[in-house]
Structure 1
Amino acid sequence: MSLSGLAKFVVGFLAGIVLLLLGSAAAGLFLFSTLSATPPRPVFPEEKQQKKVTNINTKTSTVAATNSKLVSSTQVSPSPSQETQLEPGAYKARVKWESGLSMRSEANFESSKVGGVAYNQEVVVLQDSDDKQWQKVRVVETNEEGWVKAGNLEQADTPQ
């Protein structure tokens, strides 16, 4: 075996090893990226039933809204003064906490949640707790009542 034959053998052997390593690395990266991707979220039968119920409720509310428009066009709408009458000491306010607020059944953190109020949603403040740390509110749209932490509302002087 000559010196040139030995050089060809060494270069060929090293080229083969490099190609084998590069191919293995490429296959490993492909498998890793394929297996590390999160699978699609499964849809359970309970969720399918809720979607069907939601669609039925949407159709029902559309029909009800159409019917209420027909009825309201024939009836006299209440005057603004009737709609804005509040209990003595109550006032309208808006939620200024960007994440919204949790309404609780009692004026403490240990009590159960009874609902929530979204950011910039209008509420009626009914009363303050004795320690002035909590406020009892009623959501204007749903008439839900509950306690929220004080300092997260701003008085609504003008309608927005």
Structure 2
Amino acid sequence: MLSGFTKFILGFFLAIAVLVGGGVAVALYFMNRTGLAPAKPVFSNDSPSVKAQAPKATEPGGGKPSLKPGTQTKSSSSSTSTSTESPKATPSPKPLPSGAYRGRVNWAEGLSLRSQPNQEAEKIGGVGFNQKIIILSESEDKAWQKIRLEGSEQEGWVKAGNTEKVNEQ
């Protein structure tokens, strides 16, 4: 009789231990899953052509300046008197529209260029960090700015507060 009762108690505690252990394992699994960052979503309106328009690190406004073949930098031009310096970027010859001013992007990740002044509008391009722009106007609620990329005719809307005015000299 004692042997049967002992088996019953041991079986009962073993069943409780299996249930508690399984519950803890499931809880740890779901807690670890919530700690992982989700995968970046890909939306149907994100096309490869929009990504291709973003400035690369070797393009103007994308980080490092690029040199054209046959030009030299200032440091290497001092070695010979006949070498040529790379031409400096000149402001666009067209006068700015009234109320417009020059600026640059100060948001480190760059900005999305949109067709209309709202978040749901179509993405028509991108503007890189420190890229020079011309700020043409602001929306009525001052939350968006219409810009033109300097050296280009591409225009669009960006979120206000992510650009800064550049003092012209």
Q: TM-score range by the shorter chain?
A: 0.3 to 0.5
Question: Comparing both structures, which one devotes a greater share of its residues to helix?
Answer: 1
The structure number with the bigger radius of gyration is 1
**TM-score w.r.t. length of structure 1:** 0.47
**TM-score w.r.t. length of structure 2:** 0.45
